[in-house]
Amino acid sequence: METYGLEKLGILNPTAVYRNLSPAALVEAALRRGEGQLSDKGALTVTTGKYTGRSPKDKFIVDTPAVHDTIAWGSVNVPITKEKFDAIKNKMAAYLQNREIFIFDGFAGADPACTKKFRIVNELASENLFIHQLLIRPTAEELADYGEADFTIIAAPGFKCIPEVDGVNSEAAIMIDYEAKMVIIAGSQYAGEIKKSVFSVMNYLMPKEGVLPMHCSANMDPETGDTAVFFGLSGTGKTTLSADPNRKLIGDDEHGWSDRGIFNFEGGCYAKTINLDPEGEPEIYGAIRFGSLMENVVLDPETRVPDFNDGSLTENTRVGYPVDFISNAAIPGIGKIPKVVIFLTADAFGVLPPISRLDENAAMYHFVTGFTSKLAGTERGITEPQPTFSTLFGAPFMPMDPSVYAEMLGERIEKYNTKVYLVNTGWSGGPYGVGSRMKLKYTRAMITAALNGTFDNAEYKHDEIFNVDVPQSCPDVPAEIMNPRDTWADKAAYDEAAKKLARMFQENFAKKYPNMPKHIVDAGPRG
């Protein structure tokens, strides 16, 4: 039996080893093993137990002399010793003895000059299907010549840590050893942990090669090739808004920006499905078919039709599928230098303009600030929107100092004269619980106007509180929507809420970035 180097990981006696099985074979294996069931459209559907979202308090980075000075240690990048990592890795290897092992050897990085090889070792066939569809799949020739992986990820949800013995916080642990080029994921079946571990690795490796790694989606005009990127945390609309039927999708979540252009790190998409509407999101809806993996989506027990409105297991219901399940996907996932950058935020206060233009300094301010609201389900314990500031719109996945990434973005905006807009996909007419969520069709219309140059010659009004320029009209959007104060019945309540949020911006910035240059500080909200 070929073991594909598993003995080097300490996995000595697997009952069977399957490498790069087809999606059909992986679905068959998952069903045989009782890991899930098929929906009416053929998507493999699984439940992930208590972990239905990322578990940031269980993530660690191994602190070794070789990487110590390159990591921004703190509450996000939490150190753990090499000894503890190795002890858990060895226990996990022992757990995996006498079990079936599923291996996927794939790539991250569509630009051949930046491609990295990832070997994913799975206990579950369903998770192997997920990562098979999410990463870039090798051809038969590439697989034959694969050689050694640049990084190895071992995911064993059935192995549970013992916190008081293993020195971790719960039965789950997501641990990256950058020096050993290995990631271990214990205790959690949420497949997003595998995907985001790849992203965290790329975010460490790419800056060393002069490439800006970005937590963003990207698409391009099918005729001109003009490219746009969309930054935003989970739930702000990155996947939905980039899956535009009028544009070609480069990718929905993770990209690099080099001096040649942008490129997708992945070969698939991982979309939220809660309240999925086939009319509002036809591309995502159509991608849910055989070969897709749905997580925590409730099926009718008789018809197996998914109920996308059912959030009883979690609001963070998900589907993973290869990018070519989107009919207008750009294959390979490579685009030109971006002409437009969109920062997406979901403002639960209901006070930020639905779209505003940012100059270079304001772009740097909002990139570093990364304001949004954590939406229900994207993390364990989040049941309603909470205002948050996530550096670079992706702090949990950025191991290096924020200034490394921020300076790289600033340099590119200036060099290429890229236009930047802040888009609020959150609430209008009042805060969460009073107002209503911005209509998707209005947000799409505003983004279309930003992409096609309609806003280049628009009339703007300066918002004195948030210190941004707000276009006063947009095709297919009611004029009163453009200025959030106009949507509130109680104008005094709006003023109070807006000033409160502006102060939150200022306090967060002063606390986190006390040494930021004055011209960037001054570009933020004024209150």
Round to whole Å and give the CA distance between 250 and 323: 8
Extract the tokens encoding 328: 């207008």
Round to whole Å and give the CA distance between 189 and 50: 9
Average pLDDT over residues 305-330: 96
User: Per-residue pLDDT for 187 more than 60?
Assistant: yes
Answer for the pair 120, 194: CB distance below 8 angstroms, yes or no.
yes
Residue 327 — φ and ψ, nearest 5°? -60, -30
Q: Is 317 annotated as a binding residue?
A: no
**Which residues make beta-bridge pairs with 272?**
318
- Helix, strand, coil shares of the chain, percent, nearest 5, are 30, 25, 40
Confidence of residue 244 (pLDDT cuts 50, 70, 90): confident
For residue 379, what pLDDT is reported?
Answer: 59
Q: Is 236 annotated as a binding residue?
A: yes
Q: Is 232 annotated as a binding residue?
A: yes
Three-state secondary structure call for residue 221: coil
Q: Print burial letters for 337-348: b (CB count within 10 Å at least 16), e (below 16).
A: bbbbbbbbbbbb
Those residues whose C-beta lies under 8 Å from the C-beta of residue 480, and which sit 6 or more positions away, are 486, 487
User: Per-residue pLDDT for 109 more than 90?
Assistant: yes
Q: Is 238 annotated as a binding residue?
A: yes
Q: Of residues 393 and 137, which shows the higher confidence score?
A: 137
Average pLDDT over residues 29-37: 98
For residue 105, what pLDDT is reported?
Answer: 98
Round to whole Å and give the CA distance between 508 and 469: 22
Confidence of residue 382 (pLDDT cuts 50, 70, 90): low
Confidence of residue 503 (pLDDT cuts 50, 70, 90): very high
Q: Is 369 annotated as a binding residue?
A: no
For residue 455, what pLDDT is reported?
Answer: 97
> Max Cα separation, the chain?
73
Q: Is 491 annotated as a binding residue?
A: no
User: Per-residue pLDDT for 166 more than 80?
Assistant: yes
Confidence of residue 406 (pLDDT cuts 50, 70, 90): confident
User: Per-residue pLDDT for 376 more than 70?
Assistant: no
For 225-236, write each residue's pLDDT tens digit. 999 999 987 778
Q: Is the pTM of this model over 0.85?
A: yes
Instruction: Give the count of beta carbons closer than 10 Å to the beta carbon of residue 34.
Output: 7
For residue 486, what pLDDT is reported?
Answer: 96
Q: Is 239 annotated as a binding residue?
A: yes
Three-state secondary structure call for residue 174: strand
Average pLDDT over residues 197-210: 98
- The DSSP 8-state label assigned to residue 211 in this structure reads -
Cα separations in angstroms, 517 against 72, 152, 357, 513, 522: 20, 40, 21, 9, 9
Confidence of residue 380 (pLDDT cuts 50, 70, 90): low
Q: Is 48 annotated as a binding residue?
A: no
For residue 18, what pLDDT is reported?
Answer: 98
Answer for the pair 307, 350: CB distance below 8 angstroms, yes or no.
no
Asked if the bond preceding 332 is cis, omega within 30° of 0, the reply is: yes
Residues annotated catalytic, as ranges = 54, 196, 215, 234, 238-239, 253, 318
Answer for the pair 161, 224: CB distance below 8 angstroms, yes or no.
no
User: Per-residue pLDDT for 378 more than 60?
Assistant: no
**What DSSP assignment string belongs to 389-407?**
E-GGG-GGG--S-HHHHHH
For residue 374, what pLDDT is reported?
Answer: 66
Weakest mean pLDDT among 14-18, 227-231, 407-411? 407-411
Those residues whose C-beta lies under 8 Å from the C-beta of residue 92, and which sit 6 or more positions away, are 154, 156, 159, 184, 186
Q: Is 500 annotated as a binding residue?
A: no
For residue 403, what pLDDT is reported?
Answer: 85
Q: Of residues 235 and 269, which shows the higher confidence score?
A: 269
Average pLDDT over residues 288-309: 98
Element (H, E) at 482: helix 479-482
Place of tokens 């930046």: 114
Confidence of residue 239 (pLDDT cuts 50, 70, 90): confident
- Residue whose C-alpha is closest to residue 220's, from 107, 122, 324, 335: 335
User: Per-residue pLDDT for 155 more than 90?
Assistant: yes
Answer for the pair 352, 345: CB distance below 8 angstroms, yes or no.
yes
- What is the percentage of the chain residues whose pLDDT exceeds 70? 98
For 39-84, write each residue's pLDDT tens digit. 999 999 999 999 999 999 999 999 999 999 999 999 999 999 999 9
For residue 168, what pLDDT is reported?
Answer: 98
Instruction: Please give the single-letter amino acid code of residue 149.
Output: A
User: Per-residue pLDDT for 384 more than 60?
Assistant: no
For 9: left if phi > 0, alpha if psi spans -120 to 50, otherwise beta; the answer is alpha
Q: Is 223 annotated as a binding residue?
A: no
Answer for the pair 484, 354: CB distance below 8 angstroms, yes or no.
yes
User: Per-residue pLDDT for 377 more than 60?
Assistant: no
Long-range contacts, stretch 511-517, CB < 8 angstroms, 24+ apart? 512/389, 512/391, 513/368, 513/402, 516/368
Q: Is 233 annotated as a binding residue?
A: yes
Those residues whose C-beta lies under 8 Å from the C-beta of residue 420, and which sit 6 or more positions away, are 340, 341, 342, 343, 357, 358, 359, 360, 362, 363, 413
